Amino acid sequence: MDHFLYRSGTLHAEDVALADIARTVGTPFYCYSTATLTRHYQLFTEALSPMPHLVCFAIKSLSNVAVLKTLGNLGAGMDVVSGGEYLRAKAAGVPGERIVFSGVGKTREEMRLVLEGGIRQFNVESEPEMRAISEVATAMGVTAPITIRVNPDVDARTHEKIATGKKENKFGIPIARASEVYAEAARLPGIEVVGIDVHIGSQLTELEPFEQAYLKVADLTRRLRAEGHDIRRLDLGGGLGIPYQRSNEAPPLPVEYGALIKRTVGDLGCEIEIEPGRLISGNSGVLVSGVIYVKNGEGRDFLILDAAMNDLVRPSMYGAWHDIVPVEEPAPAAEKQEYDVVGPVCETGDTFAKARPLPKLAEGDLVAFRSAGAYGAVMASEYNTRPLVPEVLVNGDHYAVIRARPTFDEILARDTIPEWL
């Protein structure tokens, strides 16, 4: 469910017409719905109740501070994977005790930053990282809470670039080696083991891979406790998918995911953490773009938009599908035409869709890419010196620009010409 619906013939974000935003902000732009962000976060908290739990939003999916503030005010924790994301969470007012730090390449500088500012836990990915945290924390005279990420060698059945739980992936330690790694952790100064971490991938559309992984974590919890470790927290990662192509069967619902968690690890008495990103942010956002030209080619027609691969890279990078809809509602029996939907960047890869049936469109018309809130703006760039796409947040009948489109003067001012030129 989302809050992007046609009203009086025009696509709205909650109570605001996207065409009105386009007239003020210009295109392309991202637009997010507060109501959808709120509802999707609440679905997870409801699904895990009454278990003790914390829903940590995966900032990497959508990192605008206004969005983080919206979720943080609801009680959300944050899952960060860099020092910069940590500072975004803090800027949004999220306290350190609700921030977990994931990622395979944490630097000592980042460790010091979060230990100074407060952290719920490090999700440790390797033995060298664990030893580095021990050294940094000991030098600072503090104790760093950690979980250790185990790799359960489970096929998430998702895109190869976002699968993280198989033995050939770079993430975590092999679950078969967990006992020896936890034993080393118990001997190291400056760290305290608080639990286990696992995350098998993103955009999962079935529950069975989660069940396989969580059953392994449950067995590991019992074994580690028998070996003397105080395992009181389970970080189960994120990854639940969303229906990008709405004509396809929908992925499992959060309530079904929550029931699976209760069934597999609910008897362990652990606090549960999950780290959803895409399911909270994905359908909470759209990318709105204008048609520059309709070009008639040989055997195909091109819809050339003012959005490009630098604004939304998922189709180019992953071959991803996004539903594309006109902002002005077509008549129910409107004739459709197949278009290759492309951007203006000078690469053939700047293609959003091929032979996509759409209502007939003309120069100046607006279209919206649905389910664009996750991994959209966060992965955008200024390739071809195209200004970074702005972001807009809607709340009821109000909206605000939460990241402005930079001017060309601002872009050029960031470059410095050396004195010898």
User: CA-based angle 412:416:421, to the nearest 5?
Assistant: 115
Shortest CA distance to 398 belongs to which of 6, 24, 9?
Answer: 24
- Which of the following is catalytic: 31, 56, 270, 346? 346
CA distance 318 to 227: 43
Instruction: Give the position of tokens 């509802």.
Output: 39
Alpha-carbon torsion 281, 154, 235, 89, what sign? Answer: negative
User: What tokens appear for 258 in the block?
Assistant: 């929550």
Phi, psi of 254 (to 5 degrees): -55, -35
In the residue annotation, 346 being an active-site residue is answered as: yes
Block residue for tokens 């664009």: 372
Q: What is the residue type of 62? A: L
112 and 91 in contact (C-beta within 8 Å)? no
Tokens of 245: 């192509």
Catalytic residues: 346
